[in-house]
A and B are shown apart, each in its own frame.
Chain A
Amino acid sequence: MNILPRRRSRDEASGAWYPRWYWPGFALPGTLWLLVLFVLPFYVVISIAFGTVDPVFQSPLPVYEPWWWTKRYLAQEWHFATGEFRPVELRTIVYVILATAICLVFAYAVAYYVARFGGKRKGLFLALLIAPFFISYLMRMLSWVELLQPNGYVNSVLTFLHITPHPINWLAGVPFTVVMGLVYGYIPYMILPLYGFLDRIDQSHLEAGRDLGANRFWTFLRVTLPLSKPGILASLVIVTLPMFGDYYTNNLLSGSPKTTMFGNLLDNSMEATGQGPEAAILVLFLVVFLMIPMLYYMRETAKAQRNQ
């Protein structure tokens, strides 16, 4: 009465016997799903980027055979990317760097305070810091759209305090509003990973630094900061990746061509018809541009999965 299946592989660690396809079977649905609905769509994007265009409707005609691929439209779009779109790209990079820098300063301060001085209130602090995760991004932006209206509360406070004589139209393409919106939108995603790293730092390291004669400032600079470097890098990547594809913050808080970012180019190419393969090519550019931070993030996540 042999109930064990014939083909089986021996698991090195446990010594238990498993049918050979036992574990791969678990991973199969997910793997297939991703192959069909993640890899294949991306192949379509590439086929459109290297494909041609319908002469009448100007809609893209994907070419699925790599040997028939043409670089004509790609070159044309590259020409735009290095010419007409250059100001947009530079603006995107400036906005993202500014917003990320502001995020980092405040996120680090908050995470450091909660990790080191949270004490009994740590649970409360964490609940308050996690709350934005459960509030929709749209709602958080919507609340600022309402606060920043010409007759909104921000303007009434400013005019009441006589800081400005007239209400400011914050939503008419003010770069400050867009950068603030980006900071507001993404800073929660930075605080939690930073907190995770800072909370794991052994307090005795800091005490050792102080015992050896360093003051607060040097202890922070030579002990805490180096120990939290992986956390800083990870949180920078977490925040900048979506920022480069962000169009909604900009659309909601400004909507003006004066503050257009790269995400807006992508979104506009989707909303307008007859633009040929533009959307696909822009997606391709963005993926190539973000490849290094994405690979870094993936490597870090995979590392965390191996040894925690």
Chain B
Amino acid sequence: MDGALAALARLGGEARIVAGGHSLLPMMKLRLANPEHLVDINDVTELAYIREGWDEIRIGAMTRHFDLLESDLLAQRFPLFRDAETMIADPVVRNRGTIGGSLCQADAAEDLSAVCSAAKAQVVIVGPEGERVVGMEDFHVGPYMTAVGTGEILTEIRLPVRPGAGSAHEKVERRAGDWAIAAASAALWIDAGTIADAGVALSAVGLTTIHLTRAEELLRGKPPSEELFGQVVEIASEDCAPSADGRGPVDYKRHLAGVLAHRALRRSAARALNQEV
């Protein structure tokens, strides 16, 4: 880790960290990314872990998709991770791709950004000045742009563990390994029949991950119900900003975003209340 930071400091703004490389190398082949230097952190094994603390789960940035999928701890505390990981790329790609790389790639169609947003994750960024902790709401600053600055490395994702949690990720893709047509992540924390807190985010239907803050505000303080979730369907359809492409026209994607948000919320509530069928 010290070596990687020293290399970044020495090489300056033209250097980029390469994690699993399964987004960055394709971007370089397409000449969409043009780094002068790559700093490979695949052998920084101290950044590969999933640990449970007393009030949070900590995931090292170099934890690979395969290990996120296999983690029973994550599946129990934040089942939306396993939902998402079964459909991220394909099993061979999942052997290399990492959570840190996915978040830093900041592709709007990438699933883990929405997952971490819904789960209210915080990320740890380490640089020459030391360490800082940033919430997911401030992490993405634009398409393919994050709060990670020159000379800095994303090292850890922290998921606060609170009682009454349920979460789910819903995605529709055309075939295994394709990008999502749309995907929705949801997390609910239900206390005595009332939604104490909620997280809802969408993938692939805008220039960045869409944080549905309007939906989260609506959900907070109310008992979970089909009627309430139905109102989120409208918000999801309205607040996303998809573009038409080979995966579908705009009205279809807006409709899909709403349907998937609804399903994710319904499953989150069922899981929070131990009523999942």
Question: Do A and B come from the same complex?
Answer: no
List A residues at the B interface (Cβ < 8 Å): none
List B residues at the A interface (Cβ < 8 Å): none
